[in-house]
Every structure is written in C-alpha cells, then in structure tokens.
Structure 1
Amino acid sequence: MKNNKYVQLGLCAVAVNLALGTSSAFAQEEENIEKIRVTGSMIKRTDMEGPSPITSIDASEIANTGVTDLIGLFAKMPISGQGTFSTQGNSSDDTANGGSSVSLRGLGADSTLILVNGRRVSVSPFAKGIDTAFVDINNIPISAIKRVEILKDGASATYGSDAIAGVINVILKDDFEGVEVSAKYGDTADGGGEEQNVSLVWGSQSDRASHTFILDYFDREEILYGDRDYSRSANQAALRPNDPDAVDFRSSSGIPGTIALRADPTNRIIDTFGNDTCPPADRDPANALCRYDYAPVMTMFPDSERFSFNYMGKYEIAHDLQAFVELNGQNSKSIIRGAGSPSFNELFMDGDNPNHPFADMPSHPFYQQDLTMRRRTVDIGNREKRVDTDYYRTILGLEGELGAWNWEAAYSYIKSESVERGADGFPNSRRTQEAIDSGLWNPFEPSANSQAALDFIETQTTRVGKSTNKSFDVVFSGPLMQMGSGDLMLAVGGEYREEKISDNPDDQFLRGEVFGTEATQANGQRDSTSVFAELAIPVLDELEVQLAVRHEDYSDFGTTTDPKVSFLWTPLDNLSVRGSYGTAFRAPSLHQIGLGRTDESPNLVDTVRCSAVGLACDPMEYTAVFEGNPDLGPEESTSYNFGFIYEITDDLDFSLDYYSYDIENIITSDTQFVFSTFGTDPSVVQRIPTGISGDPGEVVRIFDSFQNLGDLETSGLDLDVGYLLKTGAGDFRFGYVMNYVLKYEEFRPNATGGKRLFLQEGEFEQPELRYTLSADWMMDVWSAAVALNYIGEFDGSADAGFGDKTVDSFVTVDATLNFTGIENTTLTLGATNLFNEEPPYSHHDFFGYVNTVHSGQGRFVYAKASYKF
C-alpha cells in the first residue's frame, strides 16, 4: 500500500494537467483582487462567504473577551460543548496535565479537527483520560493569532479524519509591519491565579518579501481548591449544613488510617492505638474508617509557564512563484499538586512484625493476625507532578500560478515532546512493603519513622511522551470551464501523512510499583495517503453548488471515502439560504490502538455482589485495567446543515442554522456495563472469595478495553444576530450568539445485545442552551465591550445518585475599556466574571461544582498596555 501513495499522488498531478489543458481557453486576465482559501474549501475565493456555516473571530474581538489563552475563548463560546477541557481540574490522577482542547457540539475533542493556517497539527503525546487524542491549543499564543475560523459542520470530504463535528482553523499573523510590545497583568478576587503576559511582535514588508516574528511569555499562578470557599473541603456536608443531600467526600484512606485483617479487609477498625491515632474529626465509626480531607491541597488550576516563538515568512522567487515558511515553537511547564498518595489494602503487615500494633494485646481479635490497611502517605509529602513540554512546527512550501490556476505544495514536520515527573509524595510500593517487613517503617506510627525510612519508601517517577506528524500535501485550483453564470471551479490534490506517538512511563509504573497515581503507556504509528477533489458549480447567478470527495488509505485499518454536497442560494440581495450534506469519519487514535496495560480508578457499582449479598449498591473506587484494541474500526458520521442569512437592514442581520449529526461505531469504553454484565466471569472481573455462601467475592480488578460500541444522534439550532446603532454618543454594536440543543442521544449496548439510552440532552454535563449577549461601544479614543455569558441548567449526576437534582444555570459578565488617546498606545482595563459569580452547586463530587462545564476562577481583573512603533 505504501507504494500506492506515489501512484495516487501521481494521478492527482495527471488530473491537474488535464484540467489545465481544458481550462486554458477560459483563462482570463489576471485580477489584482487577492484570492484566499476559506476554511472548508480548497478552492481560492475572492470573498469569505461560501455554502458552509463559518464563524470568524478576529484579533480585536478576541481581545475584547479578556481571555489570556485560546481555551479561554472557546470555553465561552456557545458552540463548545461537553468534552471541551482546560487545565482546570488537573490533578495527580490526570493523564494529560497542562493540556487543553475543544469539543464542538459536545462530540469530543478527538472529533474536532484543529488546524493552523489550514494544516494539521500533531496531537499531544499524553492522551486525555487515557484514550482521547487531542491537539493542545495551549501551544498557540493569543498574540500570534490573526483570526480564528470555525467551520460548523462535518468536513472529512475536505480534510479527512477527525472533522466529524467541525473544524477550527487558527490563522496566524503574517502581514504585520512595525514593532509592537504588549504587557498584561491580572489577578483573581479570591486568591491564586495571578497572571503576567508579555509579547513582542515585529514585522516588515517589501515588494518581494514579508516577515513576521512573535515572541510571547505567559505565566499563571496556581489556584488550589482550598482557595475557594465552596471547595476548600471535600466534606461538602460540612460546607453546606442546610443541604441534607450534601455528601462527605473525604477519602476513606486517612493517616494513620484504618487497620483491617488481610484475610478479610472488610473486617476493619479505625487506628486509635499507640501514640499516633486518627484525629477525632476524621473518624467515621459507622463505616469503621479514618477519613482524610484531600481538597485543600489539590490543584484547581495548575501553575503554568509558557514561552513561545512564531515566524511567518514569504518570499517572491518569480512573478508567479512564491516560497513560504512557518516556524512555531513553545516550551511549557506545569506544576500539579495533590494530596498524599492513598493506599487501599495494597500493603500488608505480618502477624509477627515487630511494629505490629497489637503485639502486646493478646486479648485483641487482631493479635498476631496478618494485617492490611487503608492509609495515606502524607508523611512523605503531598504529591507534586511537573510537566515540561516542547512543541515545534515547521512548514516549508511553494505556491504559484499556472495561467488562471493556483497551486500550492508544502512539507510539514510537527513534533511535541513531554516529560512528566513525579517530584514529590510518590511511594514505591515494593520498597514500602520491604520497609514494613524489615521494621524500618511503621505505617501505624508516622511520627516514629526516621527521615531515612521516609527517603527509602519515596520515589520519583518519570513519564516520557513524543508525538510527530510528517506530511506532504499538494493542491491545484482554478477554472475548469466557463458556464453561463460564471466559472466552474475545480480543486484537486493529495496528501501523504505519517503519524507516530509514544507514551512511556518508567519501569516502576510498568511493574506496578507506584500507587496513588495513574499513568498510561501507548506506542503506535501509521501512515495515510489521500486524494481529494472539489467542484464549485455556478448553477445560476443566485445558486452555487459545491461538491467534494476525499479518499483515504490508512496503513492500520483500511480505506474510507467521504463525499459532501453543499449549496448557497441567494434569491434576494439581502437573503441567502445554505445547506450541506456529507459523511465524515474519525480514525481510531494511536492511543486507542496502541495503549499498553493501564490501571484506572473509576467509581463503579458492584451490582452483581450487592444483589447477591444484599449490600448497599453505592459507588466505590475500583481498579480497572485497560489495554488498546488493534482491531478497532473508524467512527462514521452523517451530517447535514440547513440555514439562512438575512440582512434585514444595513445595520441589522441574523443567521439561523439547523444541524444534525448521526454518528455510528463510537469508540469508547463502558466499564460499568462490563462490570455489571460480566461480573461473575473471572476472566473479566477478578475477585477474592470471602467464603460466604452466595457471595461472589470482593473485586480485585476489572479488565476492559476500547470498542466500537456507541451511537450518537444530535441536532440543534445556531442563531447569530448583529445590530449596529450609530448615535451622537458613539457607535454601538449589539450581538447575540446562541446554541440550542434539540436532541442529544447517546446509545450503548445492553445486556441482551440491544441498545440502551446512555445519555441525552439536559442530563448531567449536557445543558440544552448556551448563549452570549454582547454590546460594543466606540467613540473617538474610547471603546468598551461587555458580554453576558449564559450556560443553561442541566440534571445532576445520575451515576453519583443525584439524577433528581438540578445544576443551575451559570451567568457571568465580562467587560473591557480601551483608551487610544496616547500616540501609538492602547491601554485596556478589563474583568472576566465581573460580579464574581460562584459556579452553581453540584452534589456529584468533592469540589462542589461541575468543573468540566463551569469555571472556578472567579473574578479576574486585568490591565494591559500595548505600544507600537
């Protein structure tokens, strides 16, 4: 198949030559109007308007939002749904610390294609949630962005894999002239999160060349859950005494902890023996547990530091031949904190150990019994992870003209390398057990242990990841023939791409010797070859039809062909109707195919045991062992979009679009389904027999993998209204952007081989309504902007037992004020979440809000100054 890539690319070149020959008779005199390639099309146009629904946000609009990084922008946008994630909530258990990405329509970050200047970017070497491959948009500094274009329908016919939900194309500045220095400082109202940002932009333009350089430095102080009143304790029941349903989420693994019999860990007592005892406030006698409040020291937002450079260059070799270069790079560092590592019955103490807590108590039931324990190793320190990432992107290309045709060819090389180090608070379980056996370390008397003992059990961990993307692409576009209403435009091209990822923890992880954290191991590579074509047909003066098709050949799962048809009809000067229909796909990620054995710690319900023995069916933390699945197939999608744009007056316009997606063979895992369906199969669920009649036994681990087992249907409305009001007191521009989800239904298999409804609109993390209401004002040297951001209510978490609750809507207000009255200078004062609204309460987890949907940053006030010379 690798030899076929050259044949396929060669066929593209033949097609172009034939097209050029055919169109030579229709070549017209060169126009001075610059043609651009709009996101969603390979055909260069003279305007931005096309058949597909596109939202474009320029640098000034981004600045008015007050955001400091790109994820801050997308987190506010109504089109961003569940699966959009920032660094918020990074913890010592996270597998993608420091990364951020966007999920359009709530279809997943791996179903949203991220482009930079129309070309792909390599994925992060560290997957989110062990399997979600994503492009880390933290690699793109705000200062380098010229505009962002968002294509809001499927686009695999144009771009290939991952474009199921749509495309985000980040266009970088390439035409700057002069020098501009900017500095920004901001801080939160409630502590933590202080930010500094400095950028330098330099550019020059000449008749034959242009150069743009951008340097950017960003630093953000960490925010801990302990910095916010509503999350300062994992004991939400104590924080909210008037709510009888609030839960105490403190860990069952405390210090010095809980003592249990090794033969029967359910037979346990709180450690109240000896000099070191469980603090009275942490004792839970009803469940015989010593609790621990981990929330105050856990990261809400990590400490982040990023330094990036960008260069965009063009050089005219000849009148019809131009070379271009793009160089981007960034070093980013993050620090993530968590409470001391918890141990859940992994460690043991023999009955004759010299440190046995009941060695002198022959009448105690645990006398000379082998023991285990729930215990937190706070004595070696709280956990701290440090992530250091280097990102590089190089594009070398040529573009030119052949008669009336344009062509472009480029080679891309993108690399991302990450090192994650467990710097503090991580115990090595093998050495810890040796220290217990030898008497060097006494788990039941922390204050009696020497520094030498603590140094012996503590370790530092290392995880190294690398992701590369190499590609060569070529595209030709131009008029194929003259029709009655204009030129029939054609674009044809091809692309060859090689991708590789590696994510390798150190030997301690591979041997299972590190507890209290999670790490993945994944290695994979693939190459793909694609050919594509696109036609823009001027059927009538008022009607354009666009046809596109792309054929992809992958080295690891086969081929796929995806077509798309779209139209733009303009029956009136002020009214346009548009629509599209197409198929799309997402190739299984290299993480999902090449994942090595990885331990996860999901909260699950042992329905098999609680039904058999009559125990309470409460969610508990279990160990689930995941591995990749090399037999995965692609996800497949059918989507269509229909809408219109109506300019009511010169000052008032709006657009309304209806969208629908039907996705099959979703790659996912459903550990609860596996647990409940195969709970008595020892090859799937490993248990320890208790000897009690009818009791299947306590769970040791659950084995799971990724499968093509889900389907999803979603539809909704996008509304965008704009109004300009000119007055003697300045110009006012009002806007309203809304996304309303009409339907969101995700299906999973049931025990009989059929389907069950797994998730739908309005349920947990799935608000039906999001909108932004904005107003901008400009007069002389002053301008201001204010925006109201609304996220609708949704049901509480049914998995956590709170499906009958409601997570309220969340409204925040952002505001900026700009002054340009000093020559070459712009001064800005602004705030996000101006009124310091707390995120709405959710019962489901210790932090008291839904950190995948709402932000805990609070009010952030900033000042910015820019000087251009």
Structure 2
Amino acid sequence: MLKKSHSLVALLVGSAACLAPLTAQAIQEQRQSYDLPAQDLGDALRRVAAQADIELYASSRDLEGKAAPPLKGDLTAREAIEALLKDSGLTGRFESASAVIISHEAVAPDAASADAGPIIVTGSRIAGAPAAAPVIQVTSEDIRNAGQADLGEVARSLPQNFGGGHNPGIGSGQGAPNENVNVNGASSFNLRGIGPNATLTLLNGNRFAYSGASSVIDVSAIPVSAVERIEIVADGASAIYGADAVAGVVNILLKPDYDGVSAMARIGASTDGGNVQQQYGLLGGKAWASGGLLAAYDYSRSSSIRAGDRDYAGASHPDTMLFPAIWRHSLLMSGHQTLGPDITLAADLLYKKSRLHSVTGYAVDVPPDQLGLDNVSTSETFGIAPSLAADLGGDWRFKASGFFGTDRTGGYSDLFFGGERLTHLDKHFFNRNLALEAGFQGPLFSLPGGDVRIAFGAGARRNDFFAGSLTGDVDRRRDNLFAYGELLVPITQPAQEIAGLHRLSLTGALRFEDYSDARGIVTPKLGIVWEPVAILRLGASWGRSFKMPTLYQQYSGYSAILGRASRYGTGYPETANIVFAAGPDSRIGPERSENVTLSAQLTPARGLELTAAWYRIDYRDRVATPVASLLGVLDKPLYAGLVTLNPTAALLNEIIAGSLLGLENSSNRPYDPATTVAFIDNRDRNIARQRYSGVDVSMRYRIELDDGRELALSAAGSFLKSDQQLLPGATWTPLAGTIFHPSRFRGRAGLTYGNERFTLAAFVSHMSGLDDERQAVPVRIPAYNMLDLTARVQIAKGTEVSVAILNLLNAKPTAIATALASETPFDTTNYSPTGRFAGLTVRQEW
C-alpha cells in the first residue's frame, strides 16, 4: 500500500523550475499570460514551470504518453497546472514551497505528506527521456511486503539476478575460484550471472566505493529504511555510464524529502536452527522550503548456520559454518539545499563497519579447531558524493558532481593442524575511489514532436588499490578521463494525433574513455521508442559496452613453474623439462560486449501493466585461464598457440624474472635451459567468449476494492540461455542450467491485499533444475520452489507490527558431491541454508 514518503515516485519535471522556491502567494494569486498549443503533457508542465518560476515535481512514469490541451489566458500557476491536468488522471498538490503532480491512484489520506525529490533518470542523462529497455522497479513498499532486511536479500530475490559472485553465503569449492568468492561479507547485484563487477550499481545516480578485491559495490551497506526505490535497466549502458555496465545498471534511489522520525526493531531465526537475526534502525528527516536532510542508522547481527543443523550437510563437520556470523553498522546521510534561485547543493554520505566470522572443518570427524580454518573478515567503508546543480535559463541545466570513497578490508585466517595453530595470515585490501564530473543538458531546437534535447559532459576518475600478500603486495592505481554525449529526437507526440504514431522518438549516445593502462575506448548506443497507440510501447536498443579488468585480477602476479615434459606431452626424453606460467597477467585489457534488447509494454486497463523483453549479449575478450589442466597439453593442436617449442634462454629468463617467486621447481631436478623443450603460457588473457540470450516477462495489476482496500498482483520471470567458448576453435559449453551458474528459468509471483491499516502478502519463487556435470555421469538437481508470507498491521497511529514467514514449506538445497570435507556440500550460488525463517518487526513513526 502507498504510505507516507512513498505515495509518490517523484521526479523533477522542470529543469528551469527545479531550483526556485515557490511561495503560496505565487501559486494562488500571481497571474501570468499563457498561450500554449496542445502538446506532450511533460513539455507543457515544463514550460509552465519555467514561466512561473516554480518548483514542480512529478513521476516521469505518470506523465509518459499523456497529452496536454491548449492553454490560453491569464492564470495563476495553480490554475494553469490544473487546466493541463484535466482528464489526465493526475492531480496537483500545492504547498507553500512546491507543486507535486500525483496519480489519482496514489491519493491517500496522508498524501499531503508525500515526498518529492530531484530528478534521477536511470539509463539516460536526459530528463524525461523514454527508456528503450524496460525499467524494473522495486519500491520500499515492495521490500517491506517481501519481509526483506537488506538490499542483498532484495538483489538475490530478483529473477534477473544470480546469487553467485558476492554474497555472504558463498561457500568453498563453488566453481571458478575467481568468480564465486567473498572476502568480506559484501552483497552485490549480478545481473544474468555475467559477474558482479559487470553490473554497475549507483546510489542516487552516483558511483560509490569499491569493496574488497573484485571492484564491486556492497549494497548491504545502504540502510534499507532510507531507500525509496530501486531502478534496474538490464541492458548494456557503458555509453551512458562508462565501464562495468555490461549486464546493466542498478540505481538505488533514496527518499528525497522524508519529514519525520521512525524507529524499527526486528528479530527472527531459522526454525531448523541458527541464523538468529537482530536488526535495529532509526530514520529521521526534515524538509523545509529550500531543502531537506535525511539520516538513517542501521545495526544488524546474525548468528551462523552450522552443518550440524542441516540434514543435507553430512559431508561436512557439524561445526563447519554453512553461513557466517555477521554484524554490521551502517550510517547514511543525504541532503539538498538551494543556495539561491538558480543553484542547488546536494550530498550523500555513507559509512559502514562490519565483521564476518566463519569456521571450516577439513575433516568430517575432526573438530575445526584441531584441523580446519578460522576466518575473520572486517570491512570499513566510507563515501561522500556532493553535487552542484544550476539553472542556466532557457531550460538548460548544469550539474557538477564528485565522489570520494574508501573501503578497508582486514581480518585474518588461522589454519589449525593437530590441535595447534599452524599458520596465521592477515588480510589487507584497500580501495580508494575519486571521481569528478560536469555536464549540461537542455533543448537544441523544436520539432513538431517536441524539443530535440542533448546532454553532454566530461570527467575523470581515479582508483587506488592495495592488497597485501605473502608473495608480494599489489599497489596499483588506475586513472581515466571520459567524455560523453546523448541526444533525444522526438519524431511524433500524442498531440499531433497521427494514426499509428502516437509517439515516436530516437535516442543516441556516444562515450569515449581513456585509461592509464589501456587504449582509448569508444562505446555507442542507439534506441528507438514507438507507441503505435497510447496503451502499447515498443522499444529497441543496440549498444556496445566494456569492462576493465580489476586491478587485482591484472596485477597480482603470476607463477613460473618447472616441470617434467613427460607429464605435458608424449615422445619427449626423460631428461626433458618444460616451464609454464600461470596466473594474472598485466597484459590483459578491457572485456567488450555487444547488447541488443527488444521490448514491449502494454497497459490495456487501468492498473494493469504487461512487459516483455528479449535480449542478446555477445561478450568477447573475457579474461580467463586458457587451460584448466595442463596435463597432455603439448599433444593437443588446439593449444598450439600457447606453446613455444625450444624456447630461448633469454625468453625463459624473462618469464622467470617477472614471476612472483622466481622459478618454482616441481621437477625434482636442476633447471637447465638446454633441456627445457617448451614454454607453456597459461597466464590469464582476454580469450574467452560468452553468449547470453533470453526473455524477461513481468505483470503488475492493481485493483481498487471497497473501503480503500486494494489487491495487487505481480509476476516476473526470466528465461536465460548462456554458453562459453574458452579458446577460439574450442567447443562451446553451457553455463546457464549447470551447477554454480544461473538456472535456465527463475520466476517470482506475488499477491498483496489490504489497506492503510493492514497488508497481507504472499510470494512464490521458482527456480528450474540444474545439471551437475562434474562427474562422469551427470546428476540432475531438481527444481526449487519457495513460499513467503508476510502480514503488516497498524495497531495504533504510527505503530506497525509485521510478521514474516519466509520459505514457509522449508524447501532445502540438494546435497552435491564434494571431493573434500572443506567444500560446501550444496550449490551456495543458487540456494541458501536459511530454510524456514520467522521474523517479527515493530516500526514506530512520528
């Protein structure tokens, strides 16, 4: 249900209007002469806002596809806006400092308290630009109805997202070691399973500090109580945002002008044992005529889940932790203030401190403190993102923004053998990110279909990274400069009343990036949006994207190893040796993709929205290790490009000198260049190719009932096909539908019923089965289904109690074969050991 601070998904409409305070007298009494033709409603509102010099807020989604009638006469701003909104299904709310446009469906008894905020458009730099690819929205109300405690849980519930990569539950022995790892308990989005650092995550449109070693954003650091909504564009967006947006972009938007105070407390636990959770939060905000301030604090703590509590984990020691113990403090502040009629200053600040503890036994019948690993990870993240926006007149706007952030990951790992601590290893990872950017946007000229609008800008970023290691520290910096331009060309608009061309628009973007350790990269993007009729929108987009390798992936160094040639090929004398190199290589460069998306959105009835999208991603130059096992590699023509026969002593000396530890001898005999018959270069390189394609479908239907009650239905599903070719000429192997990769289909459907006093919600999740092909005879892991129930009741004014029972039927992961007791005995990238979870939340608002 829509509530305070959520009854609007508010975006700023007027570029010229967004910075000037509005007085009650200006709205109610001051008259101006208007003479506007019939046109797009958003354009008409923008012109009224500019002429009246007022603050005007509205949802871009509410305005899309709506036409405004002609406007003529001497009118107050309020009269002009009300005339434009007539028969639009929208309502104006007028206050002493602003005018807010809302849908009739959103009007509630507390609508006068609803919030509005600055425009942040996901997937475009141009305010009001229609999206050629669908925008997936998850609102704060959706999160509360789902009983989710942090944004990591939100990410893992989305059908388009994959739980591999970075989440606190990733275990050991879970596929490729460089893909499914987590050094500090971070949570990240991982669209399509392409990789967590191939999905760009933003906070209020800004990049934030990388976490750990893999250049990802820890979304669990953001207090969920401060989030207004999450917008996801699952389409390549490097032409708009730069690197990392191969799979798409996730924009986490904060509540813009929250006015009040709220406190919450949550307790819960898994019914099978473990996972005892506590969460406490405070949210406070104050809005005034020229600005607002929001502050949120969140503390959470959860106990571990041990193998002895789960009947499918018999292959592990009972004290092995299937899910770590975690505690976390998070603090967020966000504010904005007008400095005059034409300038606004805003800033977001985020701080997080966390600790993770996990224990792994190396034998089923020996305690971990006798034979095992005790791991502690700590993380401290700080980031601040200020921005300055100015109205330049003529509907032109300027915005400058910056970011400074750091992330420190520490802790240790203690290895026990025979009851004694054999090794103590300290962890040291450090990220520092600095960014500066400035851009302009505004109209170039008018066409019958509306204003041709442009956005352009430039900026610079710096990423410093340090990782401590026994084999040598990694201390690297990457700088890059960039410039971008984006153009919106409206061909037709509803006011023209052209049959079959209710609305037609074209978009194009081009971005150039220059890196200190890579050549310049140009990424284009084209889009078209066509609405044959008001209820049907068709979109198509094509673009190229890229991702830089992480600094750890590129510069952490390789090993050079001496081995006996007889293990790597046949026909060599017993005295012959080989040298091979393996590991990260500084010569690797950007990974590149080509993305195509076709979409359709149908709104055949009030409250009903149907969306479908087909996508294809051709991902090239992926960094990979060429050969998983080098045994027999000299006999296979496929790998001839990796082999230098009869290498010179100079080449071998160069390889050995550049390695981390010099030549490591596994041959048990002296190194002699004269008896070294081959050099095998198995260092990581831009060599793999991956293909992703599939269909996303979704449905939302909101039905108004008597007595203010409402019934909301939602469903979403994602079909995915993906495969990989490790070397040119090699066989393509499937990814989706196999263990430690996304399933072929994931779906989630929900039903919500209630009013302002109570809400009941039920969600069903389904994931298709997986194939475990690690063994000679493949094993099928069956499909997985889960049912979640939540109930929220307002027991007094401002006091809400909610109960959540997640995974009501206690669906469990399927046990998998493991080679060692230390390997987690189920697929942690797709399943969780949480089981049935019951939680109670009390929330008080003032």
Question: Is TM > 0.5 for Structure 1 vs Structure 2?
Answer: yes
Q: Any conservation in 2 of the 1:90–1:336 contact (CA below 8 Å)? A: no
- 136-145 vs 393-402, greater mean Cα deviation: 136-145
Shift in alpha-carbon separation, 1:376–1:820, aligned structure 2, 3 A: closer
Q: Is the 8 A contact 1:182 1:867 kept in 2?
A: yes
Q: Which residue of 809, 832, 835 corresponds with 2:806?
A: 832
Q: Secondary structure at the match of 1:183?
A: strand
Deviation of 1:824 after TM superposition, in Å, equals: 0.7
Q: What are the ranges of 5 or more consecutive residues in structure 2 without an aligned counterpart? A: 1-46, 58-117, 494-502, 572-579, 637-642, 646-651, 656-662, 670-678
Distance 1:51 1:317 in 2: 36
Query: What residue number does 2:8 align with?
Result: none
- After the TM superposition, which residues 709-720 of structure 1 pair with which residues of structure 2 at under 5 Å, given as runs? 709-720=687-698
Deviation at 1:832, TM superposition (A): 1.2
Of residues 196, 209, 213 in structure 2, which corresponds to 1:126?
213
Equivalent pair of 2:569/2:632 in contact (CA under 8 Å): no
Offset of residue 400 of structure 1? 1.4
What is the identity, as a one-letter code, of the residue corresponding to 1:98? G
- In the alignment, what sits opposite 2:834? 857
1:411 has 2:402 as partner: yes
Q: 1:136 to 1:706 in 2, by over 3 A?
A: farther
Q: Secondary structure at the match of 2:522?
A: strand
Q: Is the 8 A contact 1:99 1:138 kept in 2?
A: yes
Secondary structure of the structure 2 residue equivalent to 1:80? coil
Judged with a 3 Å threshold, the aligned counterparts in structure 2 of structure 1 residues 610 and 839 are, in CA distance, closer, same or farther, namely farther
Q: Of residues 455, 460, 465 in structure 2, which corresponds to 1:491?
A: 455
Alignment partner, residue 734 of structure 1: 713
Letter in 2 for 1:823: K
Paired with 2:824 and 2:426, the residues of 1 have a C-alpha distance of 28
Question: Which of 532, 546, 550 is the matching residue for 2:484?
Answer: 532
- 2:183 maps to 1:96: yes
Match of 1:795 in 2: 771
Tell me the distance in 2 between the aligned counterparts of 1:678 and 1:522: 33
Aligned-partner Cα distance in 2 for 1:148–1:821: 29
Contact 2:379–2:409 (Cα < 8 Å) also in 1: yes
Which residue of structure 2 lines up, in the alignment, with residue 117 of structure 1?
Answer: 204
> Paired residue for 2:546?
585
Within 5 Å, give how 1:203-218 maps onto structure 2: 203-218=285-300
Q: Is the 8 A contact 2:308 2:318 kept in 1?
A: yes
551 and 68 in structure 1: CA distance in 2 versus 1, 3 angstrom threshold: same
**Cα gap change, 1:27 to 1:315, in 2 (>3 Å):** closer
Distance 1:859 1:847 in 2: 20
Aligned: 1:747 with 2:697: no
State the secondary structure of the residue aligned to 2:133: coil
AA partner of residue 191 (structure 2)? L
1:593 aligns to what SS in structure 2? helix
Q: Deviations over 1:793-822 (max 9, x none)?
A: 1211x23444x2211110001111000131
CA distance in 1, matches of 2:842, 2:369: 46
Say whether the 8 Å CA contact 1:380–1:458 is kept in structure 2.
Answer: no
1:381 to 1:181, Cα distance in 2 relative to 1, 3 A: same
Q: Is the 8 A contact 1:82 1:107 kept in 2?
A: no
What is the alpha-carbon distance in structure 1 between the residues aligned to residue 285 and residue 133 of structure 2? 33
Closer/same/farther in 2, CA of residues 82 and 671 from structure 1, 3 Å limit: farther
Could you tell me how far 1:122 is from its partner in structure 2?
A: 2.3
Equivalent residue number for residue 14 of structure 1? none
Deviation at 1:212, TM superposition (A): 0.7
Q: How does 1:361-440 map to 2 (within 5 A)?
A: 382-403=372-393, 404-422=395-413, 424-426=414-416
For residues 263 and 771 of structure 2, the distance between their equivalents in structure 1, rounded to whole angstroms, comes to: 47
Find the partner of 1:201 among 283, 287, 308: 283
| CA–CA distance in structure 2, aligned partners of residues 307 and 60 of structure 1 | 23
**What CA distance in whole angstroms lies between the structure 2 residues aligned with 1:595 and 1:527?**
18
- Which residue of 779, 793, 796 maps to 1:805? 779
Identify the residue that residue 226 of structure 2 maps to in structure 1: 144
Q: Which amino acid aligns with 1:769?
A: F
Quote the residue 1:177 is aligned against. 259
Amino acid at match of 2:162: G
* Cα distance change on mapping 1:762 and 1:388 into 2, 3 Å: closer
How do 1:495-510 residues align onto structure 2 when only pairs under 5 Å count?
Answer: 495-505=459-469, 509-510=470-471
- The aligned amino acid for 2:811 is E
Q: Which residue is 1:775 aligned to?
A: 751
Following superposition, the deviation at residue 655 of structure 1 comes to 0.8
* Alignment-derived partner of residue 784 in structure 1: 760
What SS class does the counterpart of residue 60 from structure 1 fall into? helix
Listed one character per residue, the Cα deviations across residues 602-644 of structure 1 (whole Å, up to 9, x for unaligned) are xxxx99869989xxxxxxxxxx985421111211111111111
Match among 346, 358, 375 for residue 324 of structure 1: 346
Asked whether the 8 Å contact 2:135–2:232 carries over to 1, the reply is: yes
Match of 1:72 in 2: 153
Deviations 1:219-238 (A, max 9, x none): 0111122221110x21xxxx
| Alignment-derived partner of residue 648 in structure 1 | 604
Q: Could you tell me which amino acid in structure 1 is paired with residue 763 of structure 2?
A: A
SS of 2:318's equivalent? helix
Q: What letter is aligned with 1:395?
A: A
The answer for the alignment partner of 1:708 in structure 2 is 686
CA distance in 1, matches of 2:634, 2:153: 42
CA distance in 1, matches of 2:369, 2:142: 50
1:490–1:611 CA distance, 2 compared to 1 (3 A): closer
Residues 239-638 of structure 1: pairs in structure 2 closer than 5 A: 294-339=316-361, 382-403=372-393, 404-422=395-413, 424-426=414-416, 454=420, 458-505=422-469, 509-510=470-471, 522-541=474-493, 542-597=503-558, 626-638=582-594
The count of aligned residue pairs is 679
Query: Which digits, 9 at most, give the CA deviation of each residue in 1:754-806, with x for residues without a partner?
Result: 2321324433334211100110101451111110011111211x23444x221
Are 1:156 and 1:585, in contact at CA under 8 Å, matched by a contact in 2? Answer: yes
Give a deviation string over 1:65-121, Cα, whole Å, max 9, x none.
212221211111110136344111346996624122221112111211111111112
Which residue identity does 2:545 align to in structure 1?
A
- Counterparts in 2 of 1:540 and 1:31: CA distance versus 1, 3 Å: farther
For residues 169 and 780 of structure 1, the distance between their equivalents in structure 2, rounded to whole angstroms, comes to 28
**Is the 8 Å Cα contact of residues 329 and 393 (structure 1) preserved in structure 2?**
yes
TM-score, normalised by the number of residues in structure 2 = 0.75
- Give the letter for the 2:757 counterpart: V
**Quick check: 1:759 aligned with 2:734?**
yes
The answer (yes or no) to whether the contact 2:184–2:212 under 8 Å persists in 1 is no
CA RMSD of aligned residues (A): 3.3
Return the TM-score normalized by structure 1: 0.73
Change (3 A) 1:189 1:203: same
Partner SS for 2:155: helix
1:669 has 2:625 as partner: yes
Q: CA deviation at 1:462?
A: 1.1
1:867 matched to 2:844? The reply is yes
